[in-house]
Amino acid sequence: MREITIRKQNAEQRLDKFLRRYLPEAENGFLYKMLRKKNIKLNGQKASGRELLREGDVIQLFFAEETLKKFMGEKEDALQAKPLPEKWILYQDSRMLAVNKPAGLLSQPSASGEDSLVEELRAYLLTDGGMTQEDFRNYRPGVVNRLDRNTSGLVLAAKTLDAAQALSRLIRERNVEKYYLAAVCGSMREERTVRAWLKKDEASNQVEVSGRDFPGAAEIVTGYEPLEHYRFRGQDYTLLKVRLVTGKTHQIRAHLAYIGHPVAGDVKYGRYSVNAELKKQTGFRRQALHAWKIVFPELPELPALSGISGRTLTAGLPDDFQRLRRLLSGSGEEIT
Task: Give per-10-residue mean pLDDT for the chain (336 aa).
Answer: 83 89 89 94 95 92 87 59 92 94 91 84 84 77 93 96 92 95 97 97 92 96 97 95 96 97 96 94 96 96 93 97 92 66
CATH code where residue 7 lies? 3.10.290.10
Provide the 10 A C-beta neighbour count for residue 281: 13
Is 336 in contact with 314 (CB distance < 8 Å)?
A: yes
Verify that 229 and 316 share a domain, yes or no: yes
pLDDT at 86: 92
Q: Are residues 61 and 92 in the same domain?
A: no
Out of 72, 97, 117, a domain closes at 72
Annotated active-site positions, please?
Answer: 148
Domain that holds residue 142: 86-172
Same domain, 183 and 298: yes
Taking each helix axis from N to C end, the angle separating 15-22 and 28-36, rounded to the nearest 10 degrees, works out to: 120
Measured distance CA(235)–CA(233) in Å, rounded = 6
Task: Tell whether 29 and 108 lie within a shared domain.
Answer: no
**Does one domain contain both 197 and 257?**
yes
Residue 79 falls inside a structural domain: no
Q: Pick the closest to residue 233 from 182, 267, 181, 185 (CA basis).
A: 185
Same-domain check for residues 91 and 225: no
Domain identity same for 259 and 136: no
- The closest of 235, 324, 239, 328 to 273, measured between CA atoms, is 235
Specify whether 125 is located in the same domain as 31.
no
Q: How far apart are CA 58 and CA 43, in angstroms?
A: 5
DSSP state of 83: P
Q: Identify the bridge partners of residue 42 per DSSP, sorted by sequence position.
A: 45, 59
- Confirm whether 81 is domain-assigned: no
Same-domain pairing of 127 and 50: no
C-beta atoms surrounding 312 within 10 Å: 11
pLDDT of residue 225: 98
59 shares its domain with 189: no
Name the domain boundary from 125, 145, 172.
172
Inter-CA distances, 58 with 61, 121, 137, Å: 10, 28, 14
Residue 80 lies inside a defined structural domain of this protein = no
Q: Is 49 inside any structural domain?
A: yes
Query: Would you give the DSSP letter of residue 143?
Result: E
The CATH number for 144's domain is 3.30.2350.10
227-263 core/surface letters (b: 16 or more CB in 10 A; e: else): ebebebeebebbbbbbbbbebbbbbbbbbbbbbebbb
67 and 95 belong to one structural domain: no
pLDDT of res. 50: 94
What are 208's strand-pairing partners?
Answer: 199
Residue 210 lies in a domain: yes
Residue 245 lies in a domain: yes
Helix then strand then coil, in percent of the chain rounded to 5, is 30, 30, 45
CB atoms under 10 Å from CB of 118, counted, come to 21
Single-letter residue type at 30? F
Q: Is residue 335 part of a domain?
A: no
Domain tally for the chain? 3
In the listed set 148, 172, 196, which residue is the last one of a domain according to the structure?
172
Answer yes or no: pTM beyond 0.85: no
Instruction: Note whether residue 134 is domain-resident.
Output: yes
pLDDT at 79: 56
49, 23: one domain: yes
| DSSP per-residue codes, 34-75 | HHHTTSEEETTEE--S-PBP-TT-EEEE---HHHHHHHHTS-
Helix 272-282 to helix 319-329 angle (10° resolution) is 100
C-alpha–C-alpha distance, residues 140 and 138, integer Å: 7
Q: Are strands 289-295 and 177-185 parallel, antiparallel or unpaired?
A: antiparallel
Phi and psi at residue 170, in whole multiples of 5°? -60, -45
Give the whole-angstrom CA distance, residue 86 versus residue 121. 10
